[in-house]
């Protein structure tokens, strides 16, 4: 019995499957290893050390070791199966079928170890929400690798991987186009970080394109905001506390994570001296009368505001919106590839903590505040990012049109 590794498509310009041919007499049993490699990294004939994977392949020692180890294991299995009696070829094929199913080269874990290292390092620089997203992405990548038997290394992050992983995210995990964009942004950021540290020289990731689509945003109109602010809610109740924290966000334009970290010492008269969780940049947030009134309500409490967890707050906000009548029929549309996803519900079902920041930005612009001033208060430094929060109402667009394109008195039509 002899064992030899061969490529499925030795002249391919992209990764191709590795097979192990088991020859017994005149019969051959072809076993799929579940691993792939680009032919440019493969020695058709093993070198003097018995290695098929070339040295310029990242992780070649581990990969060659894995190939050699499993060839030896299959030899042992064959000897054990045939030591008592001769097996027919069909019996032998059945016995060795699936031999590689639970086998993975140790180098495949190196990629995930480096990704975990990146996440650990980022934890000191990025928000908890971002780190949570990174951890979820790592789990998704591992699940993809196991499901499709795709050996993930720095060198296998190529266009074939992009096509397969994109399909997995869309069809299996049901990610929308914008979620897909975030997934590949995370991967590209990590690959760039790894390249800077000499972990690979693979530039294929820079070709990954997952377009970001415009997001339909939800914000409260001024009428809806004041309905919420003035609503008679039992003082000290959960809904009362959630209302106050949410309205404070609507009147200041700050992220929920920063509001959660607010301390009494951060308030200097009518200003909030803020060092943001997300960017770690410091800036002053002017506090208007509405925001100061909310802070006054909790001046004797241990914390300036009774902030709950993001998840609980989002749940209570929907109850709150329904209670005060923020129930305008609302439709949001998303895309998943060529699929259009339409979601029509009462407006309160779409309210979340992030709605407060969007409400502040949109209403401030509608009231005539200059964009650069709004950006200064909200802490945005990039207009492209700031622009995503803007949604000017149809009413304001109509008012602006009529105000700017107004006929002179002498040109008006007289009936």
**Would you list the DSSP string of 280-328?**
--EEEEE--HHHHHHHHHTTTSSSSS----HHHHHHHHHHHHHHHT---
* CA end-to-end distance (rounded Å), the chain: 104
pLDDT value, residue 106: 45
Of 202 and 415, more confident: 202
Burial 10-48 (b: 16+ CB within 10 A, else e): eebeebbbbbbebeeeeeebebbbbbbbbbebbeeeeee
Taking residues 210-227, report their average pLDDT. 84
Residue 30's DSSP bridge partners are 21
Cβ atoms of 309 and 242 within 8 Å: the answer is no
Cβ atoms < 10 Å from Cβ of 212: 12
**CATH number for the 108-207 domain, one of 1.10.3720.10, 3.30.390.30, 3.40.190.10, 1.10.150.130?**
1.10.150.130
Task: Select from 368, 369, 348, 361 the least CA-distant residue to 387.
Answer: 361
pLDDT value, residue 32: 86
pLDDT value, residue 305: 96
pLDDT value, residue 392: 59
pLDDT value, residue 409: 58
The pLDDT of residue 109 is above 50 = no
| Domain topology for 222-401 | hpI Integrase; Chain A (1.10.443)
User: Binning pLDDT at 50, 70 and 90, where does residue 101 land?
Assistant: low
The pLDDT of residue 97 is above 60 = yes
pLDDT in tens, 240-267: 999 999 999 999 999 998 999 999 999 9
Cβ atoms of 208 and 239 within 8 Å: the answer is no
Taking residues 173-198, report their average pLDDT. 91
Which range is least confidently modeled, 17-31, 224-238, 333-347? Answer: 333-347
Share of the chain above pLDDT 90, in %: 46
Taking residues 223-228, report their average pLDDT. 95
Taking residues 320-326, report their average pLDDT. 95
Helix (H) or strand (E) holding 6: strand 2-7
- Paired tokens of 318: 């929907």
pLDDT value, residue 246: 97
pLDDT value, residue 135: 94
pLDDT in tens, 112-143: 989 999 999 998 877 777 888 999 999 999 99
> How many residues are given for the chain?
415
Taking residues 198-203, report their average pLDDT. 87
pLDDT value, residue 288: 95
Average pLDDT, the chain: 86
The domains of the chain are located at 2-104, 108-207, 222-401
pLDDT value, residue 280: 62
Is 378 exposed, middle or buried, given 0-12, 13-18 or 19+ CB atoms closer than 10 A? buried
Distances (CA, A) of 409 to 93, 401, 406: 94, 17, 9
- Paired tokens of 21: 């041919």
pTM for this entry: 0.58
Task: Select from 316, 320, 308, 367 the least CA-distant residue to 224.
Answer: 320
Of 322 and 85, more confident: 322
Taking residues 305-318, report their average pLDDT. 94
Q: Measure CA 295 to chain center.
A: 34
pLDDT in tens, 138-165: 999 999 988 877 888 888 899 989 999 9
Spatial neighbors of 80 by CB under 8 A, at least 6 apart, are: none
Cβ atoms of 216 and 333 within 8 Å: the answer is yes
- Paired tokens of 333: 């549309």
The pLDDT of residue 23 is above 70 = yes
Taking residues 388-414, report their average pLDDT. 65
pLDDT in tens, 179-190: 899 999 999 999
DSSP 216: P
pLDDT value, residue 407: 67
pLDDT value, residue 108: 44
């Amino acid at each position: 019995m002899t064992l030899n590794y061969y490529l499925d498509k030795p002249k391919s310009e992209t990764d191709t499957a590795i097979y192990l041919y088991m020859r017994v007499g005149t019969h051959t049993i072809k076993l799929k290893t579940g691993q792939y490699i680009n032919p440019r990294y493969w020695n058709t004939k093993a070198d003097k050390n018995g290695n098929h994977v070339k040295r310029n392949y990242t992780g070649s020692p581990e990969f060659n070791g894995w190939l050699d180890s499993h060839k030896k294991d299959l030899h042992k299995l064959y000897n054990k199966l045939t030591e008592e009696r001769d097996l027919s070829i069909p019996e032998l094929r059945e016995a060795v079928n699936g031999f590689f199913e639970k086998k993975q080269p140790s180098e495949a874990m190196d990629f995930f170890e480096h990704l975990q290292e990146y996440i650990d390092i980022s934890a000191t620089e990025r928000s908890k929400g971002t780190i949570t997203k990174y951890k979820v992405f790592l789990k998704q990548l591992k699940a993809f690798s196991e499901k499709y038997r795709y050996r993930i290394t720095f060198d296998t992050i190529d266009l074939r991987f992009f096509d397969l992983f994109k399909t997995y995210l869309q069809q299996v995990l049901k990610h929308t186009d914008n979620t897909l964009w975030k997934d590949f942004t995370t991967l590209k950021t990590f690959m760039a970080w790894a390249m800077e540290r000499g972990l690979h020289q693979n530039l294929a990731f820079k070709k990954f394109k997952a377009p970001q689509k415009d997001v339909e945003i939800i914000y409260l109109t001024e009428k809806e905001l004041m309905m919420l602010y003035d609503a008679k809610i039992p003082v000290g109740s959960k809904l009362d506390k959630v209302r106050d924290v949410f309205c404070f966000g609507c009147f200041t334009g700050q992220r929920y994570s920063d509001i959660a970290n607010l301390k009494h010492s951060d308030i200097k008269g009518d200003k909030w001296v803020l060092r943001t969780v997300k960017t770690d940049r410091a800036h002053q947030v002017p506090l208007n009368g509405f925001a100061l009134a909310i802070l006054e309500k909790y001046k004797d409490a241990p914390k300036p505001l009774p902030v709950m967890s993001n998840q609980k707050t989002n749940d209570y906000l929907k109850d709150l919106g329904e209670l005060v009548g923020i129930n305008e029929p609302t439709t949001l549309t998303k895309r998943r590839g060529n699929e259009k996803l339409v979601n029509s519900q009462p407006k309160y079902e779409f309210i979340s903590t992030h709605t407060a920041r969007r409400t502040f930005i949109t209403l401030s612009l509608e009231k005539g505040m200059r964009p650069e001033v709004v950006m200064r208060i909200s802490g945005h430094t990039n207009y492209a990012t700031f622009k995503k929060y803007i949604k000017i109402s149809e009413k304001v667009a109509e008012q602006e049109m009529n105000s700017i394109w107004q006929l002179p008195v002498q040109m008006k039509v007289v009936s």
